[in-house]
């Protein structure tokens, strides 16, 4: 017999905690490590999980190591042999550029007898920034900020990033040749495409300068003059699939969004709650994704379809927010605020049945201090008592202000891993 259903809040938090545990770097990475090379083993990497991955490699590797990884501020952890640098995210900073240059120098020092072990995870694109020839860090910062605000998908953003970079889009592997290159990846992108994770510094790049131009045109991204010239000249195309330089490279997936959702689903089952995983690669405007979840919730509550309550709708991926207001908040809070605004027009039995948690698995939703937040059946009532309008806050992209006023933010601090969004809509009539 299943255990009695715990309180909705504790169940949601238990599912989120299980999701994080399933994707945290740990001893299971040992099975993915390659054999020791004849020569040196140099470890490099970038991302929110890079430091924790490096520490895990140190514990598992039987032999000398050296190298450098770069992670976000606050995401570091102690290591003995592999240097850890902390840098800026979501926009790169001077530390990002310094780390990228040093990683390129390490790669260029390798021979055919050596191994470059690359550890990549979400956030790597900003954290390891080497502007292409003729570009400056300020150029990349400006383009990154505009791309993040315009509603572009992570695939589109990283397509542009790769064509403004001296290290992304397979160029790190080019620098390391003829050494063996093995990359371990924690995926934060829909579809787990290795060429998109951290902008794929060690894997072939299927995108082109023409593709990057199409993204810029689609979103009317303003470009610094040097960036416009660089994209126009298209002089240094990234290496493509079937390029011989990738003959000694290998990319292995260490953890994915599906791992997180599977772990959360198991917690729900043990509590007697039926899980339904809607998808691990959901994209789109956060408020639009919220409408889809509300539509399914209504069908569950009113018609017991496609499953009967108590149940939980689980989803992952990476939504976007087109910023038109002056408020604060990341895409997970925008999703929850979209749920709240949509619930206002639903029948009372739907409104009263919904609990929800949405959070970023790296512990930071956007640029704020929270991982995400909780939405409760009484959230709108409490908001009304405080003079808060969900619709008005949504129009101003001020989801952080809304949930902070309700004291419903979830603050975990950096988790040292990242498979992007985690959403759970718990339906208990």
Residues 292-320 pLDDT 10s: 999 999 999 999 999 999 999 999 999 99
62 and 169 both lie in a single domain: yes
* 200 CB-near residues (< 8 Å, 6+ apart): 158, 162, 168, 169, 170, 194
Same domain, 14 and 86: no
**Per-residue pLDDT at 48:** 96
Pairing of strands 421-427, 311-317: antiparallel
Query: What pLDDT, in 10s, does the model give residues 378-388?
Result: 999 999 999 99
Domain range for 328 is 8-20+258-427
Q: Quote the CA–CA distance of 317 and 293 in Å, as a whole number.
A: 14
What are the structure tokens assigned to 14, written together?
């238990």
What are the structure tokens assigned to 147, written together? 């791309």
2 inside domain: no
Asked if residue 110 and residue 225 are part of one domain, the reply reads yes
In-domain check, residue 248: no
pLDDT of res. 28: 84
Reading the block at residue 300, the tokens are 């569950």
In a domain, 252, yes or no: no
Q: How far is CA 253 from CA 120, 125, 182, 184, in A?
A: 10, 17, 11, 6
For residue 5, the model assigns a pLDDT of 55
28 occurs within a structural domain: no
- Tell me: do 232 and 268 sit in the same domain: no
How far apart CA 391 and CA 329 sit, in angstroms, is 15
Ranges of the chain with pLDDT below 70? 1-5
Q: Which residues contact 407 (CB under 8 A, 6 or more apart)?
A: none
Establish if 3 belongs to a structural domain: no
Is there a single domain that holds both residue 70 and residue 164? yes
Q: Tell me whether residue 290 is exposed, middle or buried, using C-beta atoms within 10 angstroms of its C-beta: 0 to 12, 13 to 18, 19 or more.
A: buried
Same domain, 178 and 307: no
Would you say residue 301 lies in a domain? yes
Q: Whose structure tokens read 């006023």?
A: 405
Count how many domains the chain has: 2
Residue that the structure tokens 């409490």 belong to: 382
- What the block records as the tokens of 85 is 């640098």
**pLDDT value at residue 393:** 97
Per DSSP bridges, beta strands 180-186 and 249-255 are parallel
Give residue 366's pLDDT.
83
> Phi then psi for 263, rounded to 5 degrees?
-65, -40
* Per-residue pLDDT, 2: 47
Q: What's the alpha-carbon Rg for the chain, to the nearest Å?
A: 22
Query: Which domain CATH number covers 410?
Result: 3.40.1480.10
**Shortest CA distance to 373 belongs to which of 429, 313, 424, 428?**
424
Closest CA to 191 of 406, 428, 365, 419: 419
Percent of the chain with pLDDT over 70: 99
Write down the pLDDT at residue 3. 52
CATH number for the domain that contains residue 58? 3.40.50.10180
């Amino acid at each position: 017999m299943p255990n009695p259903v715990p309180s909705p809040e504790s169940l949601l938090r238990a599912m989120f905690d299980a999701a994080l545990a399933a994707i945290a770097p740990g001893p299971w990475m040992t099975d993915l490590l390659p054999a020791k090379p004849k020569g040196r083993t140099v470890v490099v990497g970038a991302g929110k999980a890079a430091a924790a991955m490096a520490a895990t490699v140190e514990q598992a590797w039987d032999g000398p190591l050296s190298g450098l990884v770069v992670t976000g501020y606050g995401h570091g952890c102690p290591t003995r042999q592999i240097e850890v640098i902390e840098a800026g995210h979501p926009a790169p900073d001077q530390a990002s550029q310094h780390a990228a240059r040093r990683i390129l120098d390490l790669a260029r020092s390798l021979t055919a007898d050596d191994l470059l072990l690359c550890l990549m995870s979400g956030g790597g694109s900003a954290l390891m920034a080497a502007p292409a020839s003729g570009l400056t860090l300020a150029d990349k910062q400006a383009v990154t900020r505009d791309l993040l605000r315009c509603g572009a998908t992570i695939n589109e953003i990283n397509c542009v990033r790769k064509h403004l970079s001296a290290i992304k889009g397979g160029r790190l592997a080019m620098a390391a040749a003829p050494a063996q290159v093995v990359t371990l990846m924690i995926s934060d992108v829909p579809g787990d495409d290795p060429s998109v994770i951290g902008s794929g510094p060690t894997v072939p790049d299927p995108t082109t300068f023409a593709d990057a131009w199409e993204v810029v045109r689609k979103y009317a991204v303003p470009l610094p003059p040097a960036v416009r010239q660089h994209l126009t000249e298209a002089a240094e195309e990234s290496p493509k699939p079937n390029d011989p330089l990738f003959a000694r490279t290998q990319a292995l997936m260490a953890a994915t969004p599906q791992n997180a959702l599977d772990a959360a689903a198991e917690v729900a089952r043990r509590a007697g709650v039926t899980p339904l995983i809607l998808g691990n690669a959901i994209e789109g405007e956060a408020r639009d994704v919220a409408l889809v979840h509300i539509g399914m919730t209504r069908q569950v509550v009113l018609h017991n379809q496609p499953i009967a309550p108590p149940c939980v709708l689980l989803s992952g991926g990476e939504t976007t927010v087109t910023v038109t207001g002056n408020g604060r908040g990341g895409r997970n809070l925008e999703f929850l605020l979209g749920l709240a605004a949509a619930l206002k027009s639903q029948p009372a039995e739907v409104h009263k049945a919904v609990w929800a948690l949405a959070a970023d698995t790296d512990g930071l939703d956007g640029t704020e201090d929270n991982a995400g937040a909780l939405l409760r059946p009484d959230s709108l009532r409490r908001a009304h008592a405080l003079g808060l309008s969900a619709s008005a806050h949504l129009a101003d992209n001020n989801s952080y202000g809304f949930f902070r006023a309700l004291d419903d933010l979830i603050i975990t601090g950096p988790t040292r891993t990242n498979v992007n969004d985690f959403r759970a809509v718990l339906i208990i009539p």
